[in-house]
Structure 1
């Protein structure tokens, strides 16, 4: 097994994460309205402009997914993923510095407040983008065998699920104090 499986795994992981993220924002009008309101809080924009930012975010996420599917665009997809994650992280950091911890609705209906874990998640995803670029630039342009490719895809899809449900997983392990 070579770098072609590494690149494939990064494509599935990142394509899956961006697809789930975009799709979860379009699940219903109410969910998109919640995302638009969260975008307004994050950016400080008025509702009309926040609606444009929200639509552009979803479009950019879908564009990354498409680029990661089309072989000639894969490296551009990874690069665009890094750029998009950097913009998301900057918005989160800006919001945290202003003391705003409202939910960002990154993956739809999450009510978890913004925190450094969201920036760390984006940094980890950007690292996978860089890994995908490095693997894509190597001379390992061999075709994939079905069996190992399925194993790699399955592992990447587990990563997608864990990423999309990160807030819930963190909530499971947070200590709570009980009142007596």
Structure 2
């Protein structure tokens, strides 16, 4: 169980670290994120910049809090913070869908895919992973082998890419007829 917890912790840390980094990559990236928050019309326009700063700051805090475990501190704080953020994201996406607001998901950088059910599913899965790791942290801990823990960390980090690239993965496995081509010579 300890290795599953380690893998889940690294998965959560990579997902949240990637999310924060993608929004802070350039000034334009952050502006685009702030604009998307305003277009959601869930918070008053005047608060969209503050919500953007708070969101990115909290996303960046999650991997830092999880990394504090390397110094003997509990990763439960980072996991709890991640869980709260994910649940908040689920509510925000549901509200946007209810309003019929079709704003692209700025979760991991620029995207053309509007927030929708796939993002709720992704965040529910991530919530389950963060919750399982948090529960694992609350159970009695057994000593871990560092080599096996490193393997679990690499595996968790690799699986995190599925969540970071979730829109692409869904598109890859969504069965749709090929786009109809028109024009001369085709």
User: How does the TM-score come out when normalised to structure 1?
Assistant: 0.91
Q: Distance in 2 between matches of 1:110 and 1:17?
A: 16
Partner-residue secondary structure (3-state), 1:178: coil
Tell me if structure 2 keeps the 8 A contact 1:35–1:105: yes
Give 1:149 deviation, angstroms. 2.1
- Asked if 1:169 is matched to 2:166, the reply is no
Query: 5+ residue gaps in structure 1?
Result: none
Query: 5+ residue gaps in structure 2?
Result: 182-186
RMSD: 1.6
Q: Deviation digits for residues 35-84 of structure 1, max 9, x if unmatched? A: 00111122444554211111100111111111111122311211111110
Tell me if structure 1 keeps the 8 A contact 2:42–2:92: no
Tell me if structure 2 keeps the 8 A contact 1:36–1:47: no
Q: Which residue of 2 aligns with 1:26?
A: 24
Tell me if structure 1 keeps the 8 A contact 2:3–2:144: no
- Runs of 4+ aligned structure 1 residues displaced above 2 Å come to 42-48, 176-180
Give 1:177 deviation, angstroms. 4.7
Tell me if structure 1 keeps the 8 A contact 2:42–2:96: no
Q: Deviation digits for residues 86-105 of structure 1, max 9, x if unmatched? A: 11111100000011121120
State the structure with more CA Rg: 2
Give 1:172 deviation, angstroms. 2.1
Q: Which residue of 2 aligns with 1:54?
A: 52
User: How does the TM-score come out when normalised to structure 2?
Assistant: 0.88
Q: Distance in 2 between matches of 1:33 and 1:46?
A: 17
Aligned residues: 177
